[in-house]
Amino acid sequence: MNKVITISRQYGSGGREIGQKLAQAYDIPFYDNELITRAAKESGFAEETFARAEDKATNSLLYSLAMGINVYGNQDFGFAGLSLDDRIFLAQSDVIRKVAEEGPCVIVGRCADYVLKERENIFNVFIQASVDFRMKRAIELYGISEKKAGEEILKNDKRRSNYYNYHVGEKWLTLTNYDLVVRSDLAGIDNCVKCIQAYLGE
């Protein structure tokens, strides 16, 4: 396995668990939202980089920063034009690029497919499932009520979709963004893992 596997997923679809099982099967590191966010906060990279960036951020600047392209030609740089969300996204993007450079791994969430899209050996998976399946899973896994599970699905799908559409500028549910799109409710988690392994041929 020489690939960085990125996993995007609907809330409650089991994407995180599928990612963990793939990482175990290939004996490679696993990174989820929480790990990426914590690493970005702890890196100290944020302040250092933000202090040098442009006063008025444009989309192309944001893109350049996310891609790790050096844009610091101007002495007047500062980060006043970027929202906190954008700053966090950039710090997370940096962490994602760093762990991807270290070698094969599984990364769940945080638009990792987009952040790494210019690199080789990136494999992008999307996991989806019926609302019924996701309700049931959320109730069992997170110990929440049926009402709460329904609300979480709506809220999280919306949030993830907005997050992706905002940062990537393409629709989250457009299949051409991914190499493999798997529905977890029909096959079950383990067959999804086998399906991805069969695709990768190893």
Piece of 70-78, 87-95, 100-108, 120-128 that binds its own copies (CB under 8 A): 120-128
Position 25 contacts its own copies (CB under 8 A): no
Burial class (CB in 10 A: 0-12, 13-18, 19+), 161: middle
Position 163 contacts its own copies (CB under 8 A): no
Torsion sign across C-alpha atoms 55, 56, 57, 60: negative
Name residue, tokens 């700053």: 87
Nearer to its own copies, 49 or 128 (CB): 128
Position 200 contacts its own copies (CB under 8 A): yes
Q: Give me the least distance between CB of 106 and its own copies, in Å please.
A: 17
Interaxial angle between packed helices 33-42 and 84-102, expressed in degrees from 0 to 180 and rounded to the nearest 10:
100
Q: Give me the least distance between CB of 177 and its own copies, in Å please.
A: 9
Q: Which two tokens stand for residue 13?
A: 């679809």
Position 174 contacts its own copies (CB under 8 A): yes
Piece of 52-60, 77-85, 98-106, 174-182 that binds its own copies (CB under 8 A): 174-182
3-state SS string over 176-199?
Answer: HHCCEEEEHHHHCHHHHHHHHHHH
Where along the sequence are the contacts to its own copies (CB under 8 A)? 123, 126, 128, 173-176, 178-183, 186-187, 191-192, 194-201
